[in-house]
Amino acid sequence: MSKLSVVISAFNEEKNIEDALQSVSFADEIIVVDNSSTDDTAKIALKYTEKIYKRENNLMLNVNKNFGFTKATGEWILSLDADERVTPELKKEIESKLNELVEFDGYWIPRKNIIFNKWIEHSIWWPDYHLRLFRSGKGKFAQKHVHEYININGSTDYLESPLLHENYSHVSQYIQKMDKIYSENEVENMIKDGKRVVWQDAILYPLKDFTKTFFAQRGYKDGLHGLVLSIFQAFYAELVFAKMWEHQKFAEYNSQTFLQEILNVLRREGYELKHWVLSVKIDNEKKRLRKFAYKISRRINKRKILKNV
C-alpha cells in the first residue's frame, strides 16, 4: 500500500485536535503545523507525532498548510483541519484507494457539517465536497482566499464516505469567524479585483444570499437550523457590503426620492422571492392540478421580473 501522510495546520485547537489525530492514527505519518498556538495544541499533538513545525500564525490559513505539504514524505497526502475527523468508513475507502493502482491524482471528499448540534443536510452545507486526498507534489493551495480548494495538477475523482466536520458549536464562534476571517478575506479579494459597491447592494447582497441558501438550495428542509443559518448567510453578505462601503470612505448617497428608490428595489426583489417560493411549492406539491396552477403563477411572475429588470 502507498504511504499516507496526514497534514494538519492548527492554531489554539486544544479542544479539537486530539479527536482529529486519533481519527488518523492509521496513517504512516502525521505532520502538524502549529501556528504559534498559546494553548496546549502542540503538547497534545506531541502524543501522536514528533513532526511538529511551529510557524507564525497567518490569516491566510492555506500558507501554512502548503508548508506542511512540503514536509510530507508519503506518496499520498491527506489535508485535515483540527475540527475534522476521518470516519471509519472513510478510513476503509482511503485504504482501499491506496491499495489500488489508481489513475487519479486527487480525490474530493464530502463533509458532514455539524452545526449547533445538528448535521446540516442541505444548502451549502452538504455534500460540501473538498479536495483533501492527493498525490504528493500534485496539489497545493493558490493562497488567494480562505475558502479555496486545493489545486491539482492532474485528474480527480470523488470518494463516497464523508469527513465529519464539527463546524460550529456556539453562535459567537460563528459570528467571530464571519467577522474576523471570512468577510475580511472576501473584502480583501474584492478590493484586489477592483470591485466596488453601490447603495442598492445594501439590500441586494443579503436578500439574494438568503433566497439562494433558504429556497434555491433548500435550506428550509433543515428546519429552524436552516432558517437561522440562511439568515446568518444574509448577515454575512451585509457585512461584506458594509466593509466594502467602509473601504469607500462611507460614501454618502441620498436624494429626495430615496425612499421610492428603495421601494422600487424591494418590489423587483419581491418578484424574485416569489419565483423561488413558487418553485419550492412546485417541487413539494403532490396534486397535479395545484402543481400546474403554481407553474402558471410562476410563468406570470417571470414576465413581471423581465419587465422590471
Mean pLDDT of the chain: 94
The pLDDT assigned to 84 comes to 97
User: Residues of the chain whose pLDDT is less than 70?
Assistant: 1, 144-146, 309
DSSP letters, 94-128, are HHHHHHS--S-SEEEE-EEEEETTEE--SGGGSS-
| CA nearest to 75, candidates 103, 59, 98 | 98
pTM of the model: 0.87
CB contact set of 200 (below 8 Å; sequence gap of 6+) = 265
Name the residue among 5, 12, 2 with its Cα closest to residue 43.
Answer: 12
Cα separation values, 295 from 84, 187, 216, Å = 43, 39, 16
Quote the cell numbers at residue 97. Answer: 484507494
State the residue for C-alpha cell 475540527: 83
- Please check whether residue 158 is in contact with residue 107, taking contact to mean a CB–CB distance below 8 angstroms: yes
What are the tens digits of pLDDT across the range 256-294? 999 999 999 999 999 999 999 999 999 999 999 999 999
Whole-number Å distance between alpha carbons of 154 and 133 = 13
Whole-number Å distance between alpha carbons of 38 and 21: 19
Which residue, 111, 60, 107, 64, is CA-closest to 84? 111
Are the C-beta atoms of 48 and 30 separated by less than 8 Å?
A: yes
- 3-class SS of residue 284: helix
* Beta strands 118-119; 111-115: pairing state: antiparallel
The CA distance from 289 to 72, in Å, is: 61
**Bridge partners of 157?**
107
Instruction: Select from 163, 187, 173 the least CA-distant residue to 12.
Output: 173
Q: H or E element: which one contains 271?
A: helix 258-284
What ranges make up the beta strands (E) of the chain?
A: 4-10, 29-34, 52-54, 76-80, 84-86, 106-109, 111-115, 118-119, 130-135, 139-140, 151-152, 156-158, 163-168
Helix (H) or strand (E) holding 281: helix 258-284
**Percentage of residues in the chain with pLDDT exceeding 70?**
98
Residue ranges of domains in the chain, CATH in brackets: 4-168 (3.90.550.10), 171-307 (no CATH)
Q: Are strands 29-34 and 4-10 parallel, antiparallel or unpaired?
A: parallel
